[in-house]
Amino acid sequence: MSVICVGGMIGIGKTSVAELLAKELGSDVFYESVDDNPILPLFYTASPEEIQAKRYPFLLQLYFLQTRFASIKEAYKQGDNVLDRSIYEDWYFAKVNHDLGRISSLEMQVYEGLLDEMMREIDGLPYRKAPDLMVYLKADFETVLHRIGLRGAISSRTRPSSSTTARCGPATTTGCTSTTRPARSSSST
């Protein structure tokens, strides 16, 4: 039984790599919850004032945290699966939103408390404590924008404008290689 997590910024190729790995290993892919995410369209189409007033960045982080937690638990139960994004990189995106002032210090404290509890539960699971392999994909920002354009998608979520890019913050332009939050696991990720 093995669980592989694939990470990186939007448009980097996480889904393609996850599908290739799963095909090679004869396993399933657990996809990031994007199409059924009720908050993501609001986050990318609302004005900056509405985003802050309705606290979309915090709600979005909580939604992703919850769905990634559910996915990783299910993947660990089944074994031999690949995750297209995982709970192990979620904290970085919350931190970027906090650093940019889109998540308050109190919201970040609540988020980190939930994440810590979830990580403790993962640590306590009898079937797994950490992924067997974490694959992090990187490319320069222009390459990523080109790949997003090749998708042919029209939505503002997949074709960032300058205001969307500003909302995404450093996570979309530099990746998350320098800032990591240690996972509460006895195994190395």
How many Cα neighbours within 13 Å face the side chain of 145?
9
Residue 42 covered by a domain? yes
Choice between 77 and 31, residue whose per-residue pLDDT is larger: 31
Residue 188 covered by a domain? no
Number of domains into which the chain is organized: 1
Residue 130 covered by a domain? yes
Angle between helices 56-78 and 105-124 (to 10 degrees): 0
135-169 tens-digit pLDDT:
999 999 888 888 888 875 434 343 343 333 333 43
Q: Is 140 a catalytic residue?
A: no
Choice between 80 and 12, residue whose per-residue pLDDT is larger: 12
Please compute the mean of the pLDDT values over residues 44-51 and round it to a whole number: 89
Q: What is the CATH number of the domain that holds 99?
A: 3.40.50.300
Please compute the mean of the pLDDT values over residues 62-90 and round it to a whole number: 87
56 burial via Cβ count (<10 Å: 0-12, 13-18, 19+):
buried
Domain enclosing residue 146, as ranges: 9-174
Report how far apart, in Å, the C-alpha atoms of 71 and of each of 25, 35, 41 are. Answer: 18, 15, 21
Residue 180 covered by a domain? no
Residue 86 covered by a domain? yes
**Residue 121 binned pLDDT confidence (cut-offs 50, 70, 90):** confident
Residues 56 and 2: their CA atoms lie apart, in Å, by: 35
Residue 186 covered by a domain? no
Residue 169 covered by a domain? yes
Q: Which of 84, 90, 123, 132 is catalytic?
A: 84
